[in-house]
Amino acid sequence: MNEKYPFELEKLPYGYDALEPVIDKQTMEIHHDKHHQAYVDNLNKLLADKPEMQGQTLEELMKSEVQAIKNNAGGVWNHNFYWQEMIKPDNGHITDLLLTKLEKNFESVDKFMEQFEKQALGRFGSGWAWLVEKGDGSLEIMSTANQDNPLDLGLIPLLGIDVWEHAYYLKYQNRRGEYVKAWWQVVNWDFVEKGLK
């Protein structure tokens, strides 16, 4: 994720239909090929006449004071992360180290999921809900607006759900809660654990 200008769209690590029936093929096609591609294209356009910024990594660009650069760099990073943290339904299980951490920080996996869902549903408009690791190794649940990212606050994202309507509307329409609950089936817990310090 530390490549530089000109940015390229990362390929999906699986087929468009791999996450069926939780996330349908058409949603994946539009989400990846249109929405994610647009963030890549917009970011490249914004940087085309700014040679002084072309050496910056995506993570540096996400901190830009130019709002459009920040938004589009965040859009590229967040979607790269989103594709990687998912796996074919019911192929992931919570690994021991992560389980211990979740229980320590949230009492139980159920309570963790409950709080995460609450943040995902409570995010007004477009944005993301996240499980993050703080500098002291503790875990926290939060949400961000638009394409903002916990890295902005010095927090390490471990898991993030896209709750922009484009992520679920074709299949779930206005029922964001159904999407969020179904989404647990496609979480790649190995990926989440690998993010721990």
DSSP state of 158: E
Nearer to Mn ion, 133 or 162 (CB): 162
Nearer to Mn ion, 36 or 101 (CB): 36
**What b-and-e string marks burial along 61-72, b requiring 16 or more CB atoms within 10 Å of the CB?**
bbebeeeebbbb
Q: Which residues bind Mn ion (CB under 5 A)?
A: 162, 164, 167
The Cα 32–Cα 9 span in angstroms is 9
- Point out the residue whose Cβ comes nearest to Mn ion: 162
The Cα 153–Cα 2 span in angstroms is 19
Type of residue numbered 106: F
| Minimum distance, C-beta of residue 70 to Mn ion, in the bound complex (Å) | 16
Nearer to Mn ion, 148 or 162 (CB): 162
Tokens of 53: 């910024």
| Minimum distance, C-beta of residue 93 to Mn ion, in the bound complex (Å) | 26
| Minimum distance, C-beta of residue 86 to Mn ion, in the bound complex (Å) | 12
Type of residue numbered 172: Y
CB of 116 within 8 A of CB of 141? yes
Nearer to Mn ion, 161 or 167 (CB): 167
| Minimum distance, C-beta of residue 75 to Mn ion, in the bound complex (Å) | 7
